[in-house]
Amino acid sequence: MAEAAPTSEHKSLFIEMAERWLTLAEHAAREGRLNGGSLFRDRCLVEEAISAAVSDGYLAPFESLLTLLSMPYEDQPGFGRYVDPPRPDQVVHQTFCGT
């Protein structure tokens, strides 16, 4: 069976879909500029840095956090520990208002 030639309706639908896709691509690009590239996924690491600084005077973990937060819109591959998903034993299953 021979394929039918595209009709003007097909062409209109294609153009509409292409325009929609471009709009979505523009939104994605805008989101990349507006949202930080670093998203803390493990609050325990933040608490660990604070505890090390307060209890032991050890500032290296805090300085790492500061470096990461000082450039939130840039990819920082050396900080995977802070942005990787938590291990299964670190997953928080319940959160509370105000925490």
Angstrom distance (rounded) from CA 93 to CA 60: 29
How far is it, in rounded angstroms, from Cα 69 to Cα 38? 8
> What confidence tens digit (pLDDT) does each residue in 52-65 have?
999 999 999 889 88
Whether the CB-CB separation of 73 and 36 falls below 8 Å is answered with yes
Residue pair 66/79 in contact (Cβ under 8 Å)? The answer is no
Contact predicate 53/62, CB 8 Å: yes
pLDDT single digits (tens) 64-86: 888 888 877 777 778 777 777 77
State pTM to two decimals.
0.50
